[in-house]
Amino acid sequence: MKDVVLSRISDHSAAVAVIGMGYVGLPLAVAFAEHGFRVVGVDVDARKVALLNAGESYVEDISSTRLAPLVAAGAFRAIAGYDVLSQCDAVIICVPTPLGKTHDPDMRYVIAAGKSVAQHIHPGMLVVLESTTYPGTTDELLRPLLERGGLVAGKDFFLAFSPERIDPGRTDYVVENTPKVVGGLTPVCCEVAVALYSQAIQTVVPVSSTQTAEMVKLLENTFRAVNIALVNEVAIMCDKLGLDVWEVIDAAATKPYGFARFTPGPGVGGHCIPLDPHYLSWKLKTLNYTARFIQLAGEINSEMPRHWVTKVQDALNDAGKAVKGSRILVLGVAYKKDVGDVRESPALDIIELLRGKGALVSYHDPYVPAISHNGYGLVGEPDLAQAIAVADCVLVVTDHSAYDWPAIHRQAKLLVDTRRTSDGGDSPQRTQRTQRG
Ligand code: SAJ
């Protein structure tokens, strides 16, 4: 059975299905299609399926000009049902794994996908889970779903986990040139999964188990969350010490080894960093262990919006104004620069806190036309200069490259900067600091 599937992989006759046509699944599907495989993209959203089959991409990393030829050539097609899986040799699951309100993993999409695959699983099929999740998911949750029909994982079909490392908008590292970690339920499962990914991805890194592969991803993003929290706390300490945290970081970053540069900010947004570490702490809680770094990082990072609202309050106070009734312009609401994603963005918390204090809050963000959060909605200011002119205080939250920062600093009556835009924006390689104005 293994030799059959390996030969179908090596001669590209294997049919590959990717479940979940999002920012992870579509680039992966396109990569396999561009490397000679017939790929079917499965998604429950019929609108997405129709767009994809019309050669139209809604995922920023995949242009329609790149997708359309693959559709025309029959190398890629999308479908809203699961029946097609019966003819597939490999099925890769890329569905969301959100967190519930109490930071518990919400596995409904993985469970639904697992049940659907189970209805069409056949001997020799390779099933891979890519969704970020707690260690043990593939073996403890997905495997029993797939074995319901009587086939045995590792014996009748192959099962593996491989974490996604897609960073939307990044162009230097894409699917093909980002090393891919793969962990199999058994060594043979790993061998088959490595063989498949090696067809489309330059470097494939086998590890000893699915749990190891699941843990690798969580370490990667917990590493970021904890280091961002550290540098946020250093920013608070420097503030109390009357030091310029940016100068401290720039100088520390001249150390050519043993230091990783992170920058302070308004808090941590996005759908990875604020959430992924809680998958790990949730799992460890079931084992009666408290992941203290993750807990502390979450506390510090989620405290940053309140820290910055206090800075605005102090700045207005020094100008003899109360927050209540003051017009505050938030510059940038996306969770990080040069993207339009507002998921978990600290800007939303900051706006809510300021509104709670009676401020008249508006925002401008070239990537985000409108926002709605916890029952309020705001439309972005159309005219930046006009918005700055009428603002009692400008609060920089997202340091989009598109902004003319020196002009903004000149024009604002009062400006509070959660990033570093005073000298044209944060450029990590800068070591010589222009004297702050
Ligand atoms: N942030 C800081 N200071 C930093 C870095 C980030 O405040 O030094 C903030 C950002 O403003 C943002 C949040 O943290 O609000 C997350 O930023 P991020 O740079 O980690 O970006 P993400 O959320 O897009 O993370 C993704 C992740 N990719 C995957 O999970 C596959 C992460 O693993 C990548 O390392 C990261 O992109 C990246 O390096 O861009």
Whether 270 is in the pocket of ligand 1, judged by its Cβ within 6 Å, is yes
One pLDDT digit (tens) per residue for the chain, 437 residues: 899 999 999 999 999 999 999 999 999 999 999 999 999 999 999 999 999 999 999 998 999 999 999 999 999 999 999 999 999 999 999 999 999 888 899 999 999 999 999 999 999 999 999 999 999 999 999 999 999 999 999 999 999 999 999 988 889 999 999 999 999 999 999 999 999 999 999 999 999 999 999 999 999 999 999 999 999 999 999 999 999 999 999 999 999 999 999 999 999 999 899 999 999 999 999 999 999 999 999 999 999 999 999 999 999 999 999 999 999 999 999 999 999 999 999 999 999 999 999 999 999 999 999 999 988 899 999 999 999 999 999 999 999 999 999 999 999 999 999 999 987 655 443 334 333 33
Q: In what order do the strands lie in the sheet with 76-79?
A: 76-79, 38-42, 15-19, 90-93, 126-129, 158-161, 180-184, 204-207
Q: Are 431 and 251 in contact (CB under 8 A)?
A: yes
For atom 34 of ligand 1, the residue with the nearest CA is 167
Sign of CA dihedral 37, 128, 166, 182: negative
For atom 8 of ligand 1, the residue with the nearest CA is 262
Separation of 408 CA from ligand 1 center, angstroms? 26
Ligand 1: which atom is nearest the Cα of residue 165?
31
**CA separation for the pair 138, 221 (Å, rounded):** 19
Name the amino acid, one letter, at 68: A
Separation of 262 CA from ligand 1 center, angstroms? 10
* Residues labelled as active-site residues: 272
Ligand 1: which atom is nearest the Cα of residue 266?
7
Separation of 273 CA from ligand 1 center, angstroms? 6
Q: Are 393 and 416 in contact (CB under 8 A)?
A: yes
Whether 97 is in the pocket of ligand 1, judged by its Cβ within 6 Å, is no
Domains and CATH numbers, the chain: 2-208 (3.40.50.720), 256-431 (3.40.50.720)
The pTM (predicted TM-score) of the whole model is: 0.92
